[in-house]
């Protein structure tokens, strides 16, 4: 077997593993009474969209932020989505260590790209990492607002903790807009033209 074939298998194994996130639920919402919460992949997708927009608003690199957002929960294929309350009792390996194991069989260029993004996100020292974390927290707040509009009324603690964690002015403005907005307002017909 050639080394190039081995490298392709390593990349494909990571891709297959990441596919598990499409089926893995964001379990913390069960405490709020959400029977079928969104998947980790669904959360990560919208986090990446939010991150791209926040990056543009904050003068950060949108591509870098989006990449960190896509990768920020990939470790949960191995350690699951541990609810916040469980973290009082459990300790998990650092996300950087999990990522290193996940990409160990990937070609160096792929492994280095993924590892660098996860390391930057976890360090929270660059503007891009701060914006990416804000995107994660803002997506949780937005999801809580949507669940509240769907009749789940026990979501205020997620809204409050997510709002309190936001660092950038743009994320705080978007949070305020989410709290004042209507999730389905975009469906309204446009106003008549004069």
Mean pLDDT of 21-33: 94
Name residue 25's beta-bridge partners: 39
- Banded pLDDT at 1 (limits 50, 70, 90): very low
pLDDT at 5: 61
Mean pLDDT of 14-41: 95
Rounded CA-CA distance 29/17 in Å is 23
Mean pLDDT of 166-191: 95
* Count of other CB atoms within 10 angstroms of residue 31: 14
| In the chain, % of residues over pLDDT 90 | 86
- pLDDT tens for 140-167 read 999 999 999 999 999 999 999 999 999 9
Mean pLDDT of 102-115: 97
Please say whether the beta carbons of 36 and 63 come within 8 A: no
At CB < 8 A and 24+ separation, what contacts does 23-28 make?
Answer: 24/76, 24/77, 24/80, 24/81, 25/81, 26/81, 26/143, 27/80, 27/81, 27/83, 28/81, 28/83, 28/84, 28/158
pLDDT at 185: 93
pLDDT at 3: 63
Over the chain, what is the mean pLDDT? 94
Mean pLDDT of 39-61: 98
- pLDDT tens for 80-98 read 888 888 888 988 899 999 9
For residue 63, what are the contacts with CB-CB under 8 A and spacing of at least 6?
A: 52
Please say whether the beta carbons of 96 and 142 come within 8 A: no
- Banded pLDDT at 190 (limits 50, 70, 90): confident
pLDDT at 52: 98
Class of domain 3-82+93-180: mainly alpha
Q: What are phi and psi of 39, to 5 degrees?
A: -80, 165
């Amino acid at each position: 077997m050639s080394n190039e074939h081995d490298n392709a298998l390593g990349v494909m194994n990571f891709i297959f593993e990441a596919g598990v996130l499409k089926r893995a639920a964001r379990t913390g919402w069960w405490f709020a009474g959400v029977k079928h919460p969104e998947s980790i992949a669904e959360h990560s997708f919208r986090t990446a969209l939010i991150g791209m927009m926040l990056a543009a608003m904050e003068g950060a690199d949108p591509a870098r932020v989006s990449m960190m957002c896509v990768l920020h929960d990939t470790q949960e294929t191995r350690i699951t989505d541990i609810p916040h309350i469980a973290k009082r009792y459990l300790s998990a390996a650092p996300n950087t260590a999990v990522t290193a194991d996940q990409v160990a069989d990937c070609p160096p260029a792929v492994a280095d790209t993924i590892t660098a993004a996860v390391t930057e996100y976890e360090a929270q020292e660059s503007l891009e990492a701060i914006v990416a974390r804000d995107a994660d927290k803002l997506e949780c707040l937005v999801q809580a607002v949507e669940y509240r509009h769907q009749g789940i009324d026990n979501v205020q603690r997620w809204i409050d903790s997510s709002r309190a964690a936001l660092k950038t002015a743009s994320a705080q403005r978007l949070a305020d807009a989410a709290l004042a907005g209507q999730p389905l307002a975009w469906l309204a017909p446009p106003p008549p033209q004069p």
